[in-house]
Structures are given as structure tokens and as C-alpha cells.
């Protein structure tokens, strides 16, 4: 990989000389609070301390020996984690976003993929599709710029370069990978993923190199109450959402597309039909619906129920999949994802730390303006910047994009899910392996999912990523408004907030 660590316009006169030529209110209260619009903190990269300073912890929860967190909402080159189907979204909007403009400007990225939006598979497939569209139109020897060195951008660039076109990848960050962010963090054994970490597509999993460690994620069958009791998870929540979605699908167009999941739950009468009185397990049916919305819908979409479309396809998140641990449909947790990009990146000319601020195009060529003040002219461009960035004025188009592209960018949602990695001296949240044994149970075959029912936690779900190896490591998934709130906290305040959420699991293990 020929990575240029300087900005694109520096020390490359030869390249530039040749180149210049995107009742129910109570039940849903925790899932539909208004979305704040905070000012992002100045930091632009995932942060954390490998040896955090001591902070207050609840009884039974020790101090972590290492902590690392992400802040994707504050990242100016992401502005969120991934796209989701917001109320008002249709499949056609994603298809419109992926259509070429004037046969010169092409778009790729998970937000452009109608089959698997918000996923690694969607990013890869959209990159391959954009490259195929370019190759249908390009003449031999054309120069193509690919903006963004994430999975979509590298997939497109590699296909174009292999076809004989002159390709340059322009990346705003000082690294490749985009929202795949594999880091070697002090205090952890092996790499950790601060961005994408769940692979749901069996076809994509099969293409990943052996260096990517993939562990099945067990579909959760139990949850903890705030008091630490372990209770079986019934189908109440998923059944209620399915009923609300069925009701929404039966509504006349265009209203059916404009309904949010929260509205469908209320207007269909589904949420009102669920009792708020605790049953013999101590948990009410209404609480189980809130649990599903928080730990399921929230983690999968990065948004609250009042923003998610009632017709959104759900069930592809970390808790999805067949109960059979050997099933190919089971999602896996991946570690070392960045190595999956190496083969594509090694063969490409990649300019990092180069921010494109303006794309001007006509029927003959495309001119790119960089934040350094330099201009670069190419025959065509593939834009793979995240949807969250397309929603801002960071990148301008001249002339303005067609109205359908603008509509797609405005209506498609951008969700926020942050991760926090914690390592402890001992896995206090696991059941003891026997009398006097404080090291936890024997290693499990799968990554297990820990959730709390009956309250609205800061961390929607915990993944016991160390369960298969016995490591005392947890990954917390923080979604939607909770993620926005926690991103504003300094490291000490953040650590205190997430550690407080572990109290039910410490109580459950005694």
C-alpha cells in the first residue's frame, strides 16, 4: 500500500501534474425521549485510558485494569455509526442514493445498499456495485478518484485498479479502514474493535482471512433484573414489535412509510395491551417490550423507537441468529477486522490526511477541491463518505446533487452506537465454577450477551467477549441518546456511568 502520510497536495508535483486535466406512553418513555443536539467535544478519535484512574463503583464491581471507548458521533469523518431506516425511508431512497450523477459522480457505502444497510456486507457490496457502474462507462486509461478508504472505498478502488484504470484513494483520516477501527490497546490481549465488530453475513464471513478471529454470539435467553435476579427472556417484546409492524404494513400509502415504530406500537394498541404489573418473575410484559426496544432495536439501529421506521427490517443485531451455536445464521464477533483490508490496500495508491471539501462536475470531468486549497481533476469519482458526513456541509457539490439524492440523504437515518472495552482482574459477572472458585465458569463456546430488564441502563447490552477464552473482558454497546449523552462526559465520568450499569451482574453472581 502506497500510503502518503502527508496531505494530498504536498510533495507530489508529478502526480498532480498528470492528474490536473454522503397505560403506552409509560412503556415507551425510555425509548422515545427527545434527541438532543449537543456540540461535539473537540476530540475526533476513540479515546480511553489503558489504566484508568479509580472511580466510584457499586458493590461487587471492581476497578477495571483497562478501558477503551469510541466516540463516533463526535468523529467529523463519521458523524455516527451507521445508517438505519428512519420513518419516511423507502428502499427506493437507498437505490436513488446509489445511482450515478451525470455519469461522473458515483456513490457507495452501506447507506447505498438496499439489501444489507448498516452492515459490513452492505458496504462491501455497494463498493463492488459502484465499480461495476464505473466500468460500464469508463474508457481505458481514465483516472478515477475514490473518496474514502473504508471497506466500500477499498472494494471499489481495487476492482477499478484491477480493470486497468488509474485510481487514487483519498482518505481524510491518518489511517485506512473508515468505521472499521482495529487497535492494539494497552491492557488487552490482542486487537480490539472500536468500530464494526459484528459480522452477520455468512457469505462475508467466509471471505475473511484466518487472521480475523470470529466467535459466535449466543442468542440471549436470560436477562438480569436491577436487583440481580436472573429471569428467562420471553417472546413478549419481539411479538409486540412484530404485531405493530404487521399493523403498520396494512396502513394505506404513503402513511405506512411515514410511521415510526413507536407510533405503530401506540396506534395499533399493541403497547396498551401489555400490562405494567409484574408477573411471577417480577417483570411486567410492558417492561419486556421496553427491554427489546432498548437492547435489540436500539443496538441494531443506533436510534430510539420514535425515529426508526415501523417497516424497518430488524433482527440482524448482535442478539440475532439461530439458537443453534453451529448455525451459519449466527452472527459472529470479529477481532482483527483491519487485516481483511490489507490485500486491497496493499495494491492501491492511498493518500491519507486529505479532506475533500468540494466536488464540481460536468459532462466531461470532475474537479475535487481539498482543504489544503489544492484542486485535483479526474474523469470520475466514487464517493464513499458516511451518510452522517453527507448530511453536513463538510462536502459540497457543484452543481447541487439531484433532488432525489438530496431527499435520500435527508430522510435516511444515521444511528449512533459506541463501544466500551473493559478488562478486569477477574470475571466477576460469570457464575462461579465451584466452591472457592472466583475465576468464573469454564470457557464458553460463544460470546454471551448480558442485558438488564426493568430499567433504562446507559449500556444497552454487554458482550462477554472473553467467555470463550476465559479472559475477563467485556464490551459494552451504548446506543442512541445514551451514546450521545455519554460522549459528552470526560473519561472519569464516563467510567463511573458504565461501571454503575454492571451492578446487577455483580449481584447475580453473588
> What is the average per-residue pLDDT within 332-347?
90
Q: Is the separation of the CB atoms in 294 and 481 below 8 Å?
A: no
CATH code of 396's domain: 3.50.50.60
Calpha distance 95→91 (Å, rounded): 7
Clarify whether residues 444 and 365 are in a common domain. Answer: no
| pLDDT, tens digit, 9 for 90 and up, residues 447-485 | 999 999 999 999 999 999 999 888 999 999 999 999 999
Given a cut of 60, whether residue 13 has pLDDT beyond it is: no
User: Which of residues 364, 389, 412 is at a domain's end?
Assistant: 412
Evaluate the omega torsion of the peptide bond into residue 399 and state whether it is cis, within 30 degrees of 0: yes
Calpha distance 361→344 (Å, rounded): 28
291-314 residues labelled b (16+ CB within 10 A) or e (exposed): bbbbbbbbbbbbbbbbbbbbbbeb
Pairs from 275-283 (Cβ < 8 Å, separation ≥ 24): 276/23, 276/26, 276/27, 281/231, 281/232, 282/225, 282/227, 282/229, 282/231, 282/454, 283/225, 283/231, 283/453, 283/454
pLDDT band at 51 (very low <50, low <70, confident <90, very high): low
Calpha distance 461→203 (Å, rounded): 26
Number of domain units in the chain? 2
pLDDT band at 95 (very low <50, low <70, confident <90, very high): very high
Clarify whether residues 125 and 144 are in a common domain. Answer: yes
Clarify whether residues 88 and 162 are in a common domain. Answer: yes
In a domain, 68, yes or no: yes
> What is the average per-residue pLDDT within 320-335?
64
In a domain, 503, yes or no: yes
Can you give the pLDDT at residue 16? 30
From its phi and psi, is residue 148 left (phi > 0), alpha (psi between -120 and 50) or beta? left
Clarify whether residues 6 and 98 are in a common domain. Answer: yes
Clarify whether residues 112 and 8 are in a common domain. Answer: yes
Given a cut of 50, whether residue 7 has pLDDT beyond it is: no
Given a cut of 90, whether residue 80 has pLDDT beyond it is: yes
Clarify whether residues 216 and 175 are in a common domain. Answer: no
Looking at per-residue pLDDT, the higher value among 335 and 44 belongs to 335
**Contacts of residue 332, Cβ cutoff 8 Å, sequence gap at least 6:** 198, 199, 205, 214, 215, 216, 217
**Contacts of residue 269, Cβ cutoff 8 Å, sequence gap at least 6:** none
232, exposed or middle or buried, with CB in 10 Å at 0-12, 13-18, 19+?
exposed
Q: Give the percent of the chain with pLDDT over 90.
A: 70
In a domain, 466, yes or no: yes
In a domain, 254, yes or no: no
Provide the 10 A C-beta neighbour count for residue 187: 19
CA proximity to 305, closest of 34, 501, 23:
34
In a domain, 380, yes or no: yes
Looking at per-residue pLDDT, the higher value among 48 and 95 belongs to 95
Clarify whether residues 9 and 128 are in a common domain. Answer: yes
In a domain, 306, yes or no: no
Clarify whether residues 402 and 488 are in a common domain. Answer: no
In a domain, 258, yes or no: no
Among 25-34, 146-155, 245-254, 310-319, where is mean pLDDT lowest? Answer: 25-34
CA proximity to 471, closest of 502, 448, 494, 505:
448
Which residue segment(s) compose the domain that 406 sits in? 2-22+81-181+337-412
| pLDDT, tens digit, 9 for 90 and up, residues 357-402 | 999 999 999 999 999 999 999 999 999 999 999 999 999 999 999 9
What pairs with residue 396 in β-bridges? Answer: 358
User: Which of residues 412, 444, 465 is at a domain's end?
Assistant: 412
CA-only gyration radius of the chain, Å: 23
Clarify whether residues 475 and 379 are in a common domain. Answer: no
In a domain, 291, yes or no: no
Calpha distance 112→93 (Å, rounded): 8
Calpha distance 453→317 (Å, rounded): 18
Strand order in the sheet with 166-170: 2-4, 349-351, 166-170, 143-147, 380-383, 105-107
Given a cut of 70, whether residue 158 has pLDDT beyond it is: yes
pLDDT band at 70 (very low <50, low <70, confident <90, very high): very high
Q: Is the separation of the CB atoms in 405 and 412 below 8 Å?
A: no
Clarify whether residues 376 and 420 are in a common domain. Answer: no
User: Which of residues 386, 412, 438 is at a domain's end?
Assistant: 412
Clarify whether residues 341 and 467 are in a common domain. Answer: no
Clarify whether residues 18 and 122 are in a common domain. Answer: yes
Q: For the chain, how many helices (H) and strands (E)?
A: 17, 25
Can you give the pLDDT at residue 507? 73
pLDDT band at 52 (very low <50, low <70, confident <90, very high): low
Provide the 10 A C-beta neighbour count for residue 153: 31
Mean pLDDT over each residue of the chain, to the nearest integer? 86
Amino acid at each position: 500500500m502506497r500510503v502518503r502520510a502527508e496531505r494530498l497536495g504536498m510533495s507530489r508535483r508529478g502526480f498532480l501534474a498528470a492528474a490536473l486535466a454522503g397505560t403506552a406512553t409509560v412503556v415507551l418513555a425510555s425509548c422515545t425521549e427527545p434527541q438532543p443536539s449537543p456540540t461535539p467535544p473537540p476530540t475526533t478519535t476513540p479515546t480511553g485510558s489503558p489504566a484508568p484512574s479509580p472511580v466510584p463503583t457499586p458493590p461487587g464491581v471492581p476497578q477495571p485494569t483497562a478501558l477503551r471507548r469510541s466516540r463516533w458521533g463526535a468523529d467529523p469523518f463519521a458523524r455516527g455509526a451507521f445508517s438505519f431506516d428512519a420513518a419516511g425511508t423507502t428502499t427506493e431512497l437507498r437505490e436513488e442514493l446509489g445511482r450515478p450523477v451525470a455519469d461522473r459522480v458515483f456513490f457507495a457505502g452501506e447507506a447505498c445498499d438496499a439489501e444489507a444497510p448498516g452492515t459490513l456486507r452492505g458496504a462491501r457490496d455497494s463498493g463492488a456495485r459502484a465499480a461495476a457502474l464505473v466500468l460500464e462507462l469508463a474508457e481505458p486509461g481514465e483516472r478515477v478518484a475514490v473518496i474514502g478508504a473504508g471497506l466500500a472505498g477499498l472494494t471499489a478502488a481495487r476492482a477499478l485498479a484491477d480493470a486497468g484504470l488509474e485510481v487514487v484513494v483519498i482518505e481524510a483520516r491518518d489511517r485506512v479502514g473508515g468505521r472499521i477501527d482495529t487497535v492494539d490497546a494497552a491492557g488487552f490481549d490482542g486487537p480490539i474493535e472500536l468500530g464494526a465488530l459484528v459480522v452477520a453475513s455468512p457469505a462475508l464471513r467466509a471471505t475473511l482471512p484466518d487472521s480475523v478471529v470470529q466467535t459466535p454470539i449466543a442468542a440471549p435467553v436470560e436477562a438480569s433484573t436491577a436487583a440481580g435476579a436472573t429471569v428467562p427472556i420471553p417472546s413478549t417484546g419481539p411479538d409486540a414489535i412484530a404485531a405493530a409492524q404487521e399493523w403498520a404494513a396494512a396502513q394505506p400509502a404513503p402513511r405506512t412509510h411515514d410511521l415510526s415504530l413507536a407510533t405503530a406500537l401506540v396506534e395499533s394498541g399493541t403497547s396498551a395491551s401489555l400490562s405494567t404489573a409484574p408477573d411471577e418473575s417480577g417483570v411486567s410484559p410492558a417492561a419486556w417490550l421496553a427491554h427489546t426496544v432498548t437492547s435489540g432495536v436500539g443496538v441494531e439501529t443506533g436510534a430510539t423507537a420514535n425515529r426508526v421506521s415501523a417497516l424497518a427490517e430488524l433482527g440482524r443485531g448482535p442478539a440475532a441468529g439461530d439458537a443453534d451455536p453451529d448455525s451459519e445464521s449466527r452472527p459472529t464477533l470479529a477481532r482483527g477486522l483491519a487485516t481483511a483490508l490489507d490485500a486491497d490496500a496493499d495494491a492501491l495508491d492511498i493518500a491519507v490526511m486529505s479532506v475533500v471539501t468540494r466536488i464540481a462536475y460536468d459532462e466531461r470531468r470532475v474537479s475535487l477541491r481539498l482543504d489544503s486549497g489544492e484542486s485535483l481533476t479526474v474523469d470520475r469519482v466514487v464517493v464513499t463518505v458516511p451518510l452522517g458526513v453527507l448530511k453536513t456541509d463538510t462536502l459540497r457539490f457543484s452543481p447541487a446533487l439531484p433532488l432525489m439524492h438530496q431527499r435520500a440523504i435527508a430522510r435516511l437515518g444515521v444511528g449512533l452506537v459506541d463501544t466500551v472495552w473493559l478488562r478486569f482482574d477477574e470475571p466477576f459477572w460469570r457464575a462461579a465454577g465451584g466452591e472457592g472458585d472466583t475465576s468464573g465458569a469454564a470457557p464458553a463456546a460463544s460470546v454471551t450477551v448480558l442485558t438488564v430488564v426493568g430499567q433504562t441502563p446507559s449500556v444497552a447490552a454487554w458482550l462477554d467477549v472473553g467467555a470463550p477464552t476465559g479472559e475477563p473482558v467485556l464490551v459494552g454497546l451504548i446506543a442512541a441518546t445514551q451514546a450521545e449523552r455519554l460522549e459528552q462526559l470526560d473519561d472519569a465520568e464516563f467510567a463511573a456511568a458504565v461501571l454503575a450499569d454492571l451492578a446487577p451482574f455483580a449481584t447475580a453472581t453473588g
